[in-house]
Amino acid sequence: MFSRWDIKYSPYLYVAPFFVLFGVFGLYPLLMTAYMSLTDWNLIGDRSFVGLENYSALLVDEYFWNAVRNTFAIFLIATVPQMFLALFLATLLNRPLRARTFWRMLIFVPNVTSLAAVAVVFGVFFRRDFGIVNYFIGLVGIDPISWRTEQWPSWIALATMIDWRWTGYNTLIFLAAMQAIPKDLYESAALDGAGRWRQFLSITLPGLRPTLFFVVIISTIGGWQLFTEPLIFNGGGGAILGGARREFQTVAMYMYEKAFDNLQFGYGSAVAFALFALIVIFSVLNYLLVRRSVRN
């Protein structure tokens, strides 16, 4: 009797913890975000249903669009060079190297750090006075840049932090995919007289296609949710604003500001749900972009 039950039904018991926990702490809050975005609520009083009012306010909310612009710019400035650099480093690591593991570990090590530490250390590199970055650009005759108070410089500084932390990770992902490409493809291409660059374009890149999708989508999802680095980069008070004139406030920061600083939980939820929509839209767009630009 028990063994029949055991074989037929106990598997559900083993997979149940995931579904229960995800349902309560993952799916339910996400669906509730959609509902709460249609209400006006400050956490203690009554929830009043306001329909699409929050969204129509969002459409003309200058600070919201500013945050969208900032997040997108930082994502773009970070991701594009990162993909090329990771691909390049992966081709280097894919060669027959001495001390393979040593190189892989040291390329990957930035990913293994306290997130807050990255923002603090790079914050010092990007100081206006005495910052090492301004020191180096001074050597080539460029005037000191105020990295924290101007839009483009702050975007570049944040993109640098992101790339420092994630290029090594993506390099390893690309490397793993490169090693799965059969070696004899390269050998026969070489016999046909194809050079390195030709081989890269017609064998490596197509072989990386599924991995490129994976990396681009993961970067999109992560990039749009950027929060910790800009928050800590700001330093001092009012960090959630991302600069005195919101030069680098991201959408996730704006959501936090609305919900937890201004206690507008309904409006904050609308920001969160808009961010969700942006992530979905840009994941699809990037998927199509990779599909078009890398042929099978």
Partner 1 sequence: MKKLWAASPLTYLALTLAVLLSITPFYFMFVVATRKLEVINAVPPPFTPGGDFGDNFQRVLDNEHAAFIYGLINSVVVSSIITLSVVFFSSLAGFAFAKLRFRGQNALLLIIIATMMIPTQLGIIPLYDMMVNFFHLDGTLPAVILPFLVTGLGVFMMRQYASSAISDELIEAARVDGCTTFRIYWSVVLPALRPAMGVLGLLTFMEQWNSFLWPYAILNADTPTVQVSLALLSQAYYTDYAQVFSATAVATLPLLIVFALFGRQIIGGIMEGAVKA
Scan residues 50-69 and list those touching partner 1 (CB under 8 A): none
Between 24 and 43, how does the x/- string for binding to partner 1 read (CB under 8 A)? Answer: -xxxxxx-xx--x------x
Residues 79-118 that bind partner 1 (CB under 8 A): 89, 92-98, 101, 103-110, 112-118
C-alpha distances in angstroms, 150 versus 74, 156, 204?
Answer: 13, 10, 40
Nearest approach, Cβ of residue 223 and partner 1 (Å):
11
Between 73 and 175, whose beta carbon lies closer to partner 1?
175
CB of 94 to partner 1, least distance (A): 7
Which residues, 170 to 189, sit near partner 1 by CB under 8 A? 172-173, 175-177, 179-180, 186
Helices (H), the chain: 2-22, 28-36, 53-59, 62-93, 100-108, 115-125, 132-139, 151-179, 183-191, 196-199, 205-207, 209-224, 228-234, 251-256, 265-293
- C-beta of 133: minimal distance to partner 1 in Å? 12
Give the one residue of 38, 54, 67, 123 binding partner 1; rule: CB under 8 A: 123
According to CB under 8 A, which residues from 225 to 254 bind partner 1? 225, 227-228, 231-232, 235-237, 239, 252
- Please work out the total of residues on this chain that contact partner 1, with binding judged by CB under 8 A: 104
Which is nearest to 94 in space by CA: 173, 41, 153, 149?
A: 173
Q: CA 260 to CA 258: how far, in whole Å?
A: 6
Q: Please identify which residue in 130, 140, 293, 296 interacts with partner 1, judged by CB under 8 A.
A: 130
